C-alpha cells in the first residue's frame, strides 16, 4: 500500500511529534529527580550527592570537623553534648570497625546528647525517646525519618557508610532552622 504525498507528510510529522514528546518527557523526568539534590543509593556512593544544596533547602551534610574523637563505651571526660555508646563491640572478629549503641532523648526542644560520633564503617544502633511532646528524628542524607510520639521510644540500626557531619532534626517542629538539631559525625578514619 503506497501512501500519497500528503498522507506521507502527515505520518512523518506525527512520528516527529511523538519523538519530540518522548525526548522532552525524558528530560523533565530526569531533571525533576535532581530537585533537592536527588539521591539514589546509599550515602557516599559514586553518583550521589547530599540531599540538600544551597539552592534547594537547608544544608544537612557538612565536612567532617578536624580533631573529632569517637568515644568508646565508658569513656570519661567527654563533653556533655557528645553521646557515649552504651554498648560497644567489634563489628566482626579481627575488625577495627565497631558496633555502637546510643541512647538519645528529645525533650524540651532539644536532642540530648546532641552529637553522635562514629567511624566510617561502624554499625550504629540508635535508641530514640521522646519526653514531654511528639517529635521526630529526620536526617535526609541517610534517609532517616522516625516518628517519636510522647513517652515512646523507637530504635533502628544503620551502617555508617558515608563520612561527614550530618545534621539531624525534628521536621515536625519546623526543621533545622527551628530545632531541635543534632549532629551525626562519621569520621573517615
* Any domain includes 119: yes
pLDDT at 150 over 50: yes
pTM of the predicted structure, to 2 decimals:
0.70
* Any domain includes 151: yes
- In this structure, the answer to whether residues 140 and 58 fall within a common structural domain is yes
* Residue numbers of the domain that contains 27: 5-32
- In this structure, the answer to whether residues 61 and 142 fall within a common structural domain is yes
The rounded distance, in Å, linking the Cα atoms of 136 and 130 is 8
* Any domain includes 166: yes
* Any domain includes 15: yes
> Which pLDDT value is given to residue 138?
97
* Any domain includes 87: yes
- In this structure, the answer to whether residues 24 and 66 fall within a common structural domain is no
Q: How many domains does the chain have?
A: 2
> Which pLDDT value is given to residue 75?
94
Q: Please write the tens of the pLDDT for every residue from 22-35.
A: 555 555 444 443 33
Tally the C-alpha atoms within 13 A of residue 113's C-alpha that lie toward its C-beta: 18
How sure is the predictor about 131, in pLDDT bands with cuts at 50, 70 and 90?
very high
- In this structure, the answer to whether residues 65 and 17 fall within a common structural domain is no
The rounded distance, in Å, linking the Cα atoms of 152 and 137 is 13
Amino acid at each position: 500500500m503506497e501512501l500519497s504525498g500528503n498522507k506521507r507528510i502527515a505520518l512523518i510529522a506525527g512520528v516527529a511529534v511523538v519523538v519530540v514528546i518522548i525526548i522532552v518527557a525524558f528530560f523533565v523526568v530526569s531533571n525533576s529527580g535532581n530537585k533537592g539534590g536527588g539521591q539514589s543509593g546509599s550515602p557516599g556512593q559514586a553518583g550521589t550527592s547530599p540531599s540538600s544544596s544551597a539552592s534547594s533547602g537547608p544544608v544537612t551534610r557538612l565536612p567532617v570537623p578536624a580533631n573529632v574523637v569517637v568515644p568508646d563505651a565508658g569513656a570519661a571526660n567527654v563533653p556533655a553534648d557528645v553521646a557515649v555508646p552504651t554498648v560497644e563491640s567489634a563489628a566482626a572478629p579481627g575488625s577495627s570497625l565497631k558496633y555502637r549503641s546510643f541512647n538519645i532523648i528529645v525533650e524540651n526542644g532539644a536532642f540530648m546528647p546532641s552529637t553522635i560520633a562514629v567511624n566510617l564503617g561502624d554499625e550504629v544502633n540508635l535508641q530514640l525517646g521522646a519526653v514531654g511532646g511528639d517529635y521526630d528524628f529526620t536526617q535526609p542524607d541517610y534517609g532517616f525519618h522516625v516518628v517519636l510520639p510522647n513517652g515512646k521510644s523507637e530504635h533502628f540500626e544503620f551502617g555508617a557508610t558515608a563520612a561527614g557531619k550530618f545534621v539531624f532534626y525534628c521536621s515536625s517542629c519546623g526543621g533545622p532552622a527551628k530545632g531541635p538539631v543534632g549532629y551525626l559525625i562519621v569520621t573517615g578514619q
